[in-house]
Structure 1
Amino acid sequence: MEDFKDRLRLGEFEASTPDSLNVPGTFVGVGVDDSWNLKKFKKKFRITVVQLEGREMEFDMIGIDCSLVNTLRRVLLSNVPSMAIEKVYMYNNTSVIQDEVLSHRLGLIPLKADARLFEFPSKTDELSGTDSLMFELKIKCTRSPSASRSGEGVDPDALYVNHSVYSKHLSWIPVDEQQRTLYTAKQVGPIDPDILIAKMRPGHEIDCKLVAVKGIGSDHAKFSPVCTAYYRLLPEVRLTAPVQGEDAELLKTCFSPGVIEIDEDGRAKVVDARYDSCSRNVFRHEHLKDKILMTKKKDHFIFSVESVGALRPDELVVEGLNFLIAKCDYFLLEEVGHLMQ
C-alpha cells in the first residue's frame, strides 16, 4: 500500500499512480488513516541541502506536497525582487543596433545591487537614492593608431579601439551624496564585466544614461533573480532479478553514468539512482525490462536553484519563503477581519 500510495511507477509507455492519490482522505475507505494534520507534517517534513557552490544550490524537500514546492518555484521566478535597468535616456547612438533593441539589451544586464536595500520606485519621475541607481554608457570606436594603414590584418582588436562594448563600460553615477557614501561601483554595478552589448566600427558612438529600479519578475523577466528554479521527483531504481555478464554491461549503458555499476562478481548493482534521467532505455530490451523497477518518490523533491548573482541561492530561497509567510499572514488577517464583520 505504501509503495502504491507514495511512489510513481514508470512503465514502458506510461506513469502509474498519479498525484491524485496523495489527496488527504483518499484511502480512508480501506482503513488507512492518511488525513492531514500539522503535527504529522512537522514530523515528516525536512529540508536537506545537498550542494551549495557559487551561484548554484541543490536541496531536497521531503514530506511535502507538490503544490507547495511549485509555489516556492513560482515565487522565486516572479515575486522575489531584484534591481534592473528600467529607463534608458539615449543621447547619441550611431551604432548598427537600433535604440529600442539596445535599450532592451541593457535592461537584461544583471546588477549586483541588493534589492533588499532599496524601495520600490515611486510614481513620480524624480530620482531618489533610496529607489534608483544611475549609470552612464559613453563610448566611441576609433581606429587604433598602431594599426596598419594598408589595411592588412583582420583582427579587430589590432585595428580598432573600443570596437566591442561590454558591461564593464557602464559607469555608476551616484544619485545623491547618501548613495555615494553607502555604496561603491563594485557593489551595484554589473555582475559580469564581459557581457557583450554591441559591436562598433570607427565613427560609431553610444552615449546614454540608464536608470535601474527595484522590480519583480511578474512585471518583467529582467527582474527575476534566478536563472533557473526547478524541481524533480527523486528517482528510485531497483533490481528485481540478478543481472550479470554481458547483460549487466548492457544494463549499465541504459542508465545515466553512476547509476548502475558492476561488482567484483560481474553482477549489476544500483549505486546512485538520484541523478538518473529516467530515459527508460531499458524497456527497449525484452530480456531486461522485467528485471528492473523504476519509480519516483512522490513526496521527495530535488530542488535546484541557480542565482543570477545579486544574492546567493540560499538567500533567494529564504526570501521566497519569507514572501510566502507574509502572504499567508495577509490572508489570515483578511479572514479574521471578514469573520469579525
Structure 2
Amino acid sequence: MAAPMNNVEEIRSRVILEEFGVKNVHTTDFPRNYPGYDDSWDLEKFKKNFRIDVVSLDENSMEFDMVGIDAAIANAFRRILLAEVPTMAIEKVFIYNNTSIVQDEVLAQRLGLVPIKADPRLFEFKNAGEESTQEDASEIDTIQLQLKIKCSRNPRASKDSSDPRELYLNHMVYSRDIQWVPLGNQADVFADCSIRPVHDDILIAQLRPGQELDIVMHCVKGVGKDHAKFSPVATASYRLLPEITILEPVEGEKAERLKRCFSRGVIDLEENVNGKKVAKVVNSRLDTCSREFIRHSDLKDLVKLGRVRDHFIFTVESTGSLPPDVLVTEAIKVLMAKCQTFLNELNSVDME
C-alpha cells in the first residue's frame, strides 16, 4: 500500500470530487505556490517521473497515458494534434460540368471534406497567396484528382421496377469514384501506396439519367488552424486519471450497492477471512466520476473520489490520412520545434 499523502501534497497532486463541488482546482501549478511543499522545477526529477504508456493502438485510434506533466503542456499537445499537424486535403475544385441538382459551391465544399489517404511528409507547402490554376500544379506540392461520371438508364432493368438502384447506372456518386491523376513522377514515387480517399463509401451526390459530373481537384498541404478539413484527427481529447479510495471496509449488501454505483469493471467483490463479500477497487480508469454513490446516505462518507493532476489519459482518433501513432510522433516534433524557436528567441535577446 502506498504511503499516505500529507495535506499539502494531496492539494498539489490531486483534484478531489465532493458532493457539491470540486476541491483543489487551481488555475496554475507554478512552483512554490504551496508553503511547505518542495515543487521546484528539477530536470532530473522530471526525467524520472515523466513517461508515456501506450494502452491500445490500432489503425484508426490510440489511447495512451502521459504522466508527469503540467496541464498546460498536455493541452498544448492536444491543440497541436487538432490544428498544427499537416495533412493533404482538396483545396481547389475545377468544375467543367455539373448538371446535378447540387450547386457548384456545395459540391466543392463536400469534396473538400473528403479525407485523402496521402502522406503529407512527402509534399511541400504551396506558396501562400499563390493563385492555383490547373496548369501550375506541381508534383512536389499538389495531388490531382478527377471525378468524371455520368448517370444513364439500365437497359436490363425490369419494366415493373421502381428501385433506382435497378433502374439507373451510376446514380449514386461515392468517394470511390474519385480517381488519382499522377503528376510528374508521382506514379513512381507512390507506386506502393496509391493515393485515394480514405473511405470508399462517402456519398457525394445523387444523379438521374443524363446528369453528369466532370471535375478536377487539387489537394495541397495544410494545417487545421487554417481550415478544419486539414485537421488529421476526428477527435483528440484527454482526461485525468480517476482515483477511488475506499476509506473503510464495505461489506455485504452495501458492497453490492457500491459496485452498482460505478461503471462496470471499476469495483469488484472479494471474500474476506470471514467469508463476507468486500468491495475492492480493481480498475479506477474506467470510472466516469458520476458520484452516484453520494445518493446513498450510508455510502457517501465511505468513498473518496479524486483525479491525479499530472496523469493524463489521451484518446486520439485519426481521420485515416496517417496512423494515430504517426500523428502523435509528428505532434511531438511540432512541440519540440516550438520550444526550440522560443529558446532561439531568448538567446537572441540575451545577445542584444
How does the TM-score come out when normalised to structure 2? Answer: 0.91
Find out whether 1:319 has 2:330 as its counterpart.
Answer: yes
Q: Partner of 1:3 in structure 2? A: 10
User: 1:20: Cα distance to partner?
Assistant: 4.1
Question: CA deviation digits over 1:300-329, x for unaligned, max 9?
Answer: 110111111121111111111111111221
Question: CA deviation digits over 1:117-152, x for unaligned, max 9?
Answer: 000012253210000011110111112112123xx3
Task: For 1:139-154, list aligned pairs within 5 A.
Answer: 139-149=149-159, 152-154=160-162
Secondary structure at the aligned position of 1:23 is classed as coil
User: 1:154: Cα distance to partner?
Assistant: 3.8
Q: Partner of 1:199 in structure 2? A: 206
More moved, 322-331 vs 126-135: 322-331
Unaligned runs of 5+ in 2: 1-6
Secondary structure at the aligned position of 2:277 is classed as coil
Task: For 1:60-99, list aligned pairs within 5 A.
Answer: 60-99=65-104
Q: Say what the alpha-carbon RMSD is for the aligned residues.
A: 1.6
CA distance in 1, matches of 2:20, 2:191: 57
Question: CA deviation digits over 1:79-114, x for unaligned, max 9?
Answer: 110000001011111212111111111011111110
User: 1:181: Cα distance to partner?
Assistant: 1.6
User: 1:335: Cα distance to partner?
Assistant: 2.1
Task: For 1:40-55, list aligned pairs within 5 A.
Answer: 40-55=45-60
Give the one of 173, 184, 207 matched to 1:165.
173
8 Å Cα contact 1:112/1:188 also seen in 2: yes
8 Å Cα contact 1:121/1:214 also seen in 2: yes
CA distance in 1, matches of 2:78, 2:206: 36
Q: Partner of 1:103 in structure 2? A: 108
More moved, 237-246 vs 81-90: 237-246
CA distance in 1, matches of 2:200, 2:236: 24
CA distance in 2, matches of 1:236, 1:36: 25
Q: Partner of 1:133 in structure 2? A: 143
Secondary structure at the aligned position of 1:39 is classed as helix
Give the one of 225, 250, 258 matched to 2:257.
250
Q: Partner of 2:341 in structure 1? A: 330
Question: CA deviation digits over 1:28-68, x for unaligned, max 9?
Answer: x3x32211122221121111111112211111111110000
Unaligned runs of 5+ in 1: none
CA distance in 1, matches of 2:192, 2:137: 18
User: 1:209: Cα distance to partner?
Assistant: 0.6
Q: Which amino acid aligns with 1:134?
A: Q
CA change 1:185–1:61 in 2 (3 A) is closer
User: 1:236: Cα distance to partner?
Assistant: 0.9
How many residues are aligned here? 336
User: 1:280: Cα distance to partner?
Assistant: 1.2
Sequence identity of aligned pairs in percent?
51
8 Å Cα contact 1:6/1:22 also seen in 2: no
More moved, 14-23 vs 166-175: 14-23
Q: Which amino acid aligns with 1:53?
A: D
How does the TM-score come out when normalised to structure 1? Answer: 0.94
User: 1:240: Cα distance to partner?
Assistant: 1.5
CA distance in 1, matches of 2:212, 2:260: 56
Q: Which amino acid aligns with 2:280?
A: K
CA change 1:319–1:296 in 2 (3 A) is same
Secondary structure at the aligned position of 1:19 is classed as coil
CA distance in 2, matches of 1:200, 1:253: 53
CA change 1:148–1:71 in 2 (3 A) is same
CA distance in 2, matches of 1:318, 1:68: 15
Question: CA deviation digits over 1:144-178, x for unaligned, max 9?
Answer: 112123xx3343222221111111100111122x1
Q: Partner of 1:19 in structure 2? A: 26
